[in-house]
Amino acid sequence: CLNCDEKFSAGHRCKGSMSLLLLEGELDDSDVADVSESEPTISLHAFLGDNSPRTMRLNGVVNGKAICILVDGGSTHNFIQAQVDTYLGLTITQSKHFTM
């Protein structure tokens, strides 16, 4: 299973679902930008961290720090926690909406 250490099988359910991010140091909320222009819609699978045919779990490295990204094809908006962008040293900028 991608979420727990148990063997995956049809009908498998993780005993608990949670995401933990450990940070060292203090966070400054003054650097957080509010970029929401409309009410985002997120699927239950993305919110709970479950895998479905429309979700992908990707592991990668950003600015030398290991991260795990859950990509959900059923969600209308993407988001990142303020603590994660601070941890990774990212800058959030607003962009115009576009459709695909």
DSSP 40-68: ----HHHHHT---TTEEEEEEEETTEEEE
The phi, psi pair for 79, rounded to 5°, reads: -150, 160
Question: Is residue 95 one of the residues assigned to a domain?
Answer: no
**Residue 2 within a domain:** no
Residue 68 lies in a domain: yes
Domains of the chain: total: 1
Report the distance separating Cα 52 and Cα 61, nearest Å.
24
Collect all residues with Cβ–Cβ distance below 8 Å to 49 and sequence separation of at least 6.
3, 17, 18, 19, 70
Please tell me the predicted confidence (pLDDT) of residue 35.
53
Q: What is the pTM of this model?
A: 0.36
Cα of first residue to Cα of last residue in the chain, in angstroms, is: 32
Query: Does residue 1 form part of some domain?
Result: no
Q: Which domain, by its residues, includes 75?
A: 29-88
pLDDT-derived band at 9 (thresholds 50, 70, 90) equals confident
Identity of the highest mean pLDDT range in 1-5, 11-15, 61-65: 61-65
Q: Which pLDDT tens digit goes with each residue over 19-71?
A: 656 656 665 656 555 555 555 555 555 566 555 556 777 888 888 888 888 77
The total number of residues written for the chain in this structure: 100
| Structure token pair of residue 26 | 């203090």
Reduce the DSSP state of residue 72 to 3 states and report it: strand
